[in-house]
Amino acid sequence: MESDPHPGDLEDPGRPVVAVASDHRGPHHFPLHHHFRAQLVYAVAGVMTVSTCEGTWVVPPQQAVWVPPGVRHEVGSAAALAMRTLYIHPVATEGLPRTCCVVTVPPLLKELILTAATLPERYSPDGPEARLMAVIPDRLRSLEPEPLHLPLPADRRLRAITDALTGQPADGRSLADWARTAGASERTLARLFRRETGMTFGAWRQRLRLLSAVSRLAEGQSVTSVAYDLGYESPSAFVAMFRRELGAPPGRYLRAARRDAAMA
């Protein structure tokens, strides 16, 4: 007997949104895959990382990552993770982003996601479940992307640099230092960074450190240890960067994330 398709590959437009709950008690990894439907992957508790060939997105509690239909991606977490995924039919994605992005989930959308995850996948297209699901795409269209995306270059010289920094975010070498081993001039590397990532080398490295900081802080590491491990001269310099990028200092940001996770 042929098994039912994965919810992400359900072609029936009468069910515009299908929701799935997935809880993992420890580190987990979903290898590279794609779906017919778009996805909104919401972190109820824990921090997950979503990666494609074009970049990496870090998703802490209270936020979600949008993955358009057909985009190959992988999802991983370094610790326990509770996630809720909405699979959205392409006909319901008009006006939604055509590229991956991280969005903050406001209270109303959060409740819609949590309620949707309790409903059967094969709900009636004419019933109250379908009417509730139809509200979700409208709520998604009002969301603004968050700066938790790390674009990845395709150029092999840049990729060698970004791969090395990903493994050691505290590495403080300048672009001139990297140029001596990359086989290209500093000027060439700077131009390529802007062209392929839309960011300067310094901004890219700062974004890398921000994403690493979000993951480490959510795992319970202290602000001081994270600041020094990521190469900042002082915790205050790190806190200033964090506040500038995410609108709140680490303590307040994490308290809000944990409060939302506890209420889920």
Average of per-residue pLDDT across 150-169? 92
Give tens-digit pLDDT for 74-114: 988 877 788 899 999 999 999 998 888 888 888 899 999 99
User: For residue 86, what is the enclosing H or E element?
Assistant: strand 81-88
25 pLDDT band (50/70/90 cuts)? confident
pLDDT for position 261: 47
Residue 170's closest CA among 232, 219, 224? 232
* Residue that has been written with the tokens 């674009």 in this structure: 151
Return all residues near 245 (Cβ < 8 A) that are at least 6 apart.
Answer: 147, 206, 207, 210
Where do runs of H (alpha helix) occur along the chain?
A: 107-116, 128-140, 156-167, 175-182, 186-197, 201-218, 223-229, 235-246, 250-263
Nearest-angstrom CA–CA distance, 110 and 166: 31
Write out the two tokens for 80. Answer: 């326990």
Is 80 exceeded by the pLDDT of residue 259? no
258 pLDDT band (50/70/90 cuts)? low
Give tens-digit pLDDT for 46-61: 788 888 888 888 887 7
Q: Which fold has domain 7-146?
A: Jelly Rolls (2.60.120)
pLDDT for position 256: 59
Distances (CA, A) of 202 to 155, 173, 192: 18, 10, 13
pLDDT for position 255: 67
What does CATH list as the number for 154-263?
A: 1.10.10.60
Give tens-digit pLDDT for 122-159: 888 889 999 999 999 999 998 888 777 888 898 999 99
Is 90 exceeded by the pLDDT of residue 225? yes
SS3 track for 59-85: ECCCEEEEECCCCCEEEEECCCEEEEE
Give tens-digit pLDDT for 182-201: 889 999 999 999 999 999 99
User: For residue 149, what is the enclosing H or E element?
Assistant: strand 149-151
The domain segmentation of the chain, as residue ranges, is: 7-146, 154-263
For the packed helices 186-197 and 156-167, what is the interaxial angle rounded to 10 degrees?
80
pLDDT for position 48: 84
pLDDT for position 176: 94
264 pLDDT band (50/70/90 cuts)? very low
CB atoms closer than 10 angstroms to residue 261: 17
pLDDT for position 257: 55
CB atoms closer than 10 angstroms to residue 65: 25
pLDDT for position 170: 93
Residue 145's closest CA among 227, 40, 219? 40
Write out the two tokens for 200. Answer: 């300067």
3 pLDDT band (50/70/90 cuts)? low
